[in-house]
């Protein structure tokens, strides 16, 4: 049997209003978007599993995660001195349509970590199929990544890299700890769709998207 240990918050995940009778609840956590009244669960829940399983093989875990096909983005921001920063990231995902939210995650030991942690705005540059060199450049360390890169200032000067498939300009909504990464949730404020084929990434290699008839 699994035991759930609530570390923060005073109550569990309550879908039914009836289940709340007599409980003190924090109404600020009542979700207005759900079809039925839904109270957000506590911030952190850990699961103590008595089932003994062998430790995960890190290489096999990478292989398994690599079977999930993603796009490739460069997340851009300005550092404390107003200098452009950019990092290749395929952890980007859509999160919510109303309000419009997206999420991506950054390794805690990335050199540019402080810049992103302090930046109130960032842009998601979704790379096009012909931008493998741009992806490699923004995944390289110890170089000026913007050297030779054509870009335009977006909202508040955050760089938008030329030639991308699309752009999302975001304000930082929140950050959340996630193991050896930090999650960044952004509120989308402006978008541009350029109708170029996107670059894909799978199993550690770049890939093309081949559309199929559904
Ligand atoms: C296709 C691809 C996707 C990547 N996605 C991420 C990501 O989502 N988050 C992350 O922290 N690093 C990601 N990386 C690695 C970073 O781009 C790379 O570690 C970083 O540029 C090195 O940064 P640093 O010099 O600031 O440490 C990715 C690299 C590649 C090639």
Residues with C-beta less than 6 Å from any ligand 1 atom: 72, 87-91, 105-107, 110-112, 135, 139, 141, 201
Q: Each residue of 33-53: pLDDT tens digit?
A: 666 666 666 566 666 667 899
Q: Which atom of ligand 1 is nearest to the CA of 138?
A: 21
User: pTM of the prediction?
Assistant: 0.84
Contact 25, 39 (CB under 8 A): yes
In degrees, to the nearest 5, what angle opens at C-alpha 200 toward C-alphas 198 and 201?
155
∠ CA(33), CA(36), CA(38), 5° rounding? 70
CA of 125 to the centre of ligand 1 (A): 14
Of all atoms in ligand 1, which is nearest to the CA of residue 181? Answer: 11
- For 81, the token pair is 């001195």
CA of 163 to the centre of ligand 1 (A): 20
Residue nearest to atom 25 of ligand 1 (CA): 141
Residue with tokens 């200032």: 153
What digits encode the pLDDT tens for the residues 83-138? 999 999 999 999 999 999 999 999 999 999 999 999 999 999 999 999 999 999 99
Question: What pLDDT score does 47 carry?
Answer: 67
Of 8, 36, 9, whose CA–CA distance to 25 is shortest?
9
pLDDT value at residue 30: 57
Nearest residue (CA) to ligand 1, atom 9: 106
Contact 107, 113 (CB under 8 A): yes
Q: Compute, in angstroms, the gap from residue 1 CA to the centroid of ligand 1.
A: 38
Radius of gyration of the chain (CA): 20
- Nearest CA owner, ligand 1 atom 4: 89
Q: What residues are paired with 45 via a beta bridge?
A: 6
Q: How far apart are CA 79 and CA 89, in angstroms?
A: 18
Ligand 1 pocket test: pick from 90, 93, 180 the residue with the most ligand atoms within 8 Å of its Cβ. Answer: 90
Distance of CA 98 to the CA centre of its chain: 17
Angle at 52 between CA 51 and CA 55, to 5 degrees: 130
């Amino acid at each position: 049997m699994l035991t759930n240990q609530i570390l923060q918050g005073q109550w569990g995940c309550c879908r039914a209003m009836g289940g709340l009778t007599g409980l003190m609840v924090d109404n600020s956590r009542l979700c207005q978007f759900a079809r039925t009244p839904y109270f957000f669960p506590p911030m952190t829940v850990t699961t103590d599993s008595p089932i003994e399983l062998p430790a995960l093989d890190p290489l096999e875990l990478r292989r398994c995660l690599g079977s999930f096909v993603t796009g490739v983005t460069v997340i851009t921001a300005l550092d404390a001195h107003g200098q452009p920063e950019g990092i290749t990231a395929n952890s980007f995902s859509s999160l919510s349509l109303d309000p419009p939210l997206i999420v991506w995650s950054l390794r805690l030991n990335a050199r540019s970590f402080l810049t992103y942690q302090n930046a109130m705005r960032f842009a998601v540059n979704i790379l096009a199929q012909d931008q493998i060199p741009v992806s490699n450049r923004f995944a390289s360390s110890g170089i000026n990544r913007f050297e030779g890169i054509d870009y335009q200032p977006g909202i508040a000067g955050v760089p938008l890299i030329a030639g991308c498939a699309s752009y999302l300009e975001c304000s930082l909504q929140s950050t959340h700890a996630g193991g050896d990464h930090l999650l960044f949730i952004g509120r989308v404020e402006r978008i541009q769709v350029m109708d170029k084929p996107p670059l894909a990434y799978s199993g550690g290699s770049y890939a093309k998207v081949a559309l199929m008839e559904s």
